[in-house]
Amino acid sequence: MKKGLIFNIQRYSLHDGPGIRTTVFFKGCPLKCQWCQNPEGIDTDVELFRHNQKCIHCGSCMTHCHEKAIDLTDSGPLVNRQACNRCMECVDICPTGTLEMAGKEYSVNEVVQAALKDILIYEESGGGVTISGGEPLLQYEFLLELLLALKKLNIHTAIETSGYCSWEKIKEISKITDLIYYDLKLIDDNSSRIFTGASNILIMDNLERLVISGANIVVRMPLIPSVNDTRDNIEHTAGYLSSIGVKCIELLPYHNLGSVKYEGLDLECPFNYRPNSELIRQASVIFEANGIYITSEG
């Protein structure tokens, strides 16, 4: 049985689909969006994560590390990422949870069991399971098996995808899952390459095909200050959506609560803007003027 790499299973999720849900975050993403607030979801391997504010400076990690990859500083453990072989023994040793493992392998059945814990709550609330990431389709086979297993149990499923994958894969998934949240970040291919690290041609192509296939899609747009909040981009996006027969869009506000996570992974945070709640309102006006309705989440 194929295993999946998952970095979080979040219960009581209210904003990833209808009702009260469990969101399963798949680790690994083909894109590198500069504003990404889940950087631990990008790498396709397990990673060592530091929460230095929890550190009590006991030094257990440093003493225990076989690779001598950890140094203890005034601000907590300092990890030499080159030397670290990701054995993760320090995570067990650490008494406070300062060191944590981002990513853990799960079998399909293990995820299903975790999801079943709240089955009554899904039933009461009309909720279910949402597969998010990272990019769920990057672990296509595992995703397929998991969705089939959940469908067998009559649990409502949703996926959150960038659409950056082969048409064959997303087509198969769209036949099984009940709902697809589809991110449309930038309409201009050049900007897309700059800000997400990939061309959007495949993404838009897949979206058009999904619309034609009649799949249950909600198009979403994370509104990123000075990246895609320009009148030009919004008008183009609205025009594009109209042309392919999509009538509404859901806008997600940008937040920077994930910027601290970059530090925990010893990564450079490429982007850090102040969130601005005005943006959503301004963008909504432009979308609506161009014939696209704004839907609120869930």
CA 55 to CA 250: how far, in whole Å?
Answer: 40
Cβ proximity to other proteins, 116 vs 202, nearer residue: 116
Report, in Å, the least distance between residue 167 CB and other proteins: 33
Cβ proximity to other proteins, 56 vs 285, nearer residue: 56
CA atoms within 13 A of residue 121's CA, in its CB half-sphere: 14
Residue 36: which residues within 8 A CB-CB, separation 6 or more? 29, 42, 258
Report, in Å, the least distance between residue 22 CB and other proteins: 8
CA 122 to CA 101: how far, in whole Å?
Answer: 29
Residue 128: which residues within 8 A CB-CB, separation 6 or more? 17, 18, 19, 21, 22, 122, 150, 155, 156, 157, 158, 178
Cβ proximity to other proteins, 21 vs 143, nearer residue: 21
Report, in Å, the least distance between residue 20 CB and other proteins: 6
Q: At residue 8, what is the residue type?
A: N
Cβ proximity to other proteins, 57 vs 209, nearer residue: 57
Cβ proximity to other proteins, 1 vs 257, nearer residue: 257
CA 9 to CA 171: how far, in whole Å?
Answer: 25
Residue 4: which residues within 8 A CB-CB, separation 6 or more? 26, 105, 106, 107, 108, 111, 139, 142, 143, 146
Report, in Å, the least distance between residue 49 CB and other proteins: 15
CA 174 to CA 177: how far, in whole Å?
Answer: 6
The owner of tokens 């994958």 is 165
Would you tell me which residues interact with other proteins (CB under 8 A)?
10-15, 19-20, 56, 58, 60, 95-97, 117-118, 120-121, 124-125, 127, 255, 257, 296-298
Report, in Å, the least distance between residue 77 CB and other proteins: 14
Tell me if 241 sits within 8 A of 286, measured CB to CB.
Answer: no
Cβ proximity to other proteins, 188 vs 297, nearer residue: 297
Q: At residue 262, what is the residue type?
A: Y
Report, in Å, the least distance between residue 295 CB and other proteins: 13
Cβ proximity to other proteins, 56 vs 87, nearer residue: 56
The owner of tokens 């099984």 is 176
Report, in Å, the least distance between residue 192 CB and other proteins: 27
